[in-house]
A and B are shown apart, each in its own frame.
Chain A
């Protein structure tokens, strides 16, 4: 197996809200290998974005630890943390909210360099930024334009340039194409793949869109209500999911092919339970057609199924249940 870039162990994150405590991330452990794309998928409120931010230490975990390239992030001083931040960056979902409207495109992209005191020479910095802009598909002449003069797809390119200007190892992509039209989405996905190949980037790709995840990721991690249900190579999880939730989630996606209509296929019933009062035991059990008494009593542990696959379920799906 490739080298480990980041490892998370037993991460928990709780938020205090009026009416109780939300455990947004509950006992999550995962490993990110150098050069891969690991996708976090799940529906709204499953904790995927919170987990992404906890991994970058943008939100401090309530307990558990994150090790990045051998260094435990919780033990670092502010100064050490800052130098390690250069190596991990994030791209946000909404390209309208994540760019400062009062700054020019050039200023937005070069700001990380200034903050980290890199390339103090202005001309050199500008040349570097222009070169990056060209690579990312924004004409360098637009250096002095404002974000509002750009479309959603172009803004997302600017956000990508800002994330890459420090030459990071890890980029967390938090729903980077969800706000974009299909034809623009394809442009951005291809760009992300090219950049990964050129620069050896590692991506943590957070998305609710299962088709996009299938395309971009080598490994996938399915989340439900703060917990990881299943992880494994994307191909294997998509063709033979082990966790019942993975299967229902994959089956629910409307396919762009009328021959694949799911007129009679069974749909997942009910709604996502409240994260303030999650069900006891397995958090998916209230919607799970296979639930047994034990699912209410005990929380299923992540169990290894070989070939890089793991699943947290007392009754994982067997070969014939996939038919």
Chain B
């Protein structure tokens, strides 16, 4: 068994919330505005509700096998080899997501602040930042998340609230966007945005019980849903809907236009901090989950020797993407089909365990 330690509900929810809302800082709001226009803010709520439903299945699955984490459950329900393969698929998706998020962050940083710095160099730095918490273990990652949780939320909210003079409620209209059907459809498809709650199922043994697991998961979805929805609401109010899809890094564009008097005009600095801190935490937990999934599947007791190979893989995937437009394509792909991995795999496990009537003992 890998020694994972215990994490409290506060740290665990902070971790999941940070991981989920990291996407808001990147290009996601733009894509949503492109698809559903003015409806993005409640589309995200629909996504959150869908994710809560998916989480419910994960919860029932976990509850059937007390004391086991998702990888072991999958192996029990599907059989050792298929379960392992499905777990690895989930891990692979998380690794891929980590690579995408870092690449997105790097591209954004390059566009906005460091045009001459090579992307590999920025990634090396980002990887270094993520490496330390991963090396030091789950407790460390979760506490770092807990430590900077308030700062990140405060930074995000202060940026959004300071921009109030820029908002025009009328920009929320026409209220239904491109039609309710399209909004709901996209909302359900994009529930992968909240799919990170599945990470909780991997860390179940550190969470001190199923009650905690359920609470943490639902709270995380609710809080991050509220935050994401609020950010999208603010962004929608910021500009008329045809203009929304212009901005590469939407929330940054909002932040850059904040003006209070002649001095309080420059909030990009706050943005960079909030942005990079949350991304580093998210990447750390993605990689940690991937590495632990792998070590559980191959039955290795310590995950640390695997860190370096996985970091190299992550680095390579991230650097393999040639340009920004293909990155955007991949990100869209990941958001649209992500639910299949994040919620689909536990669902398969759930169905199989029901059909085969397997139940785990303590």
B partners with A: no
Residue numbers of B with Cβ under 8 A of A are none
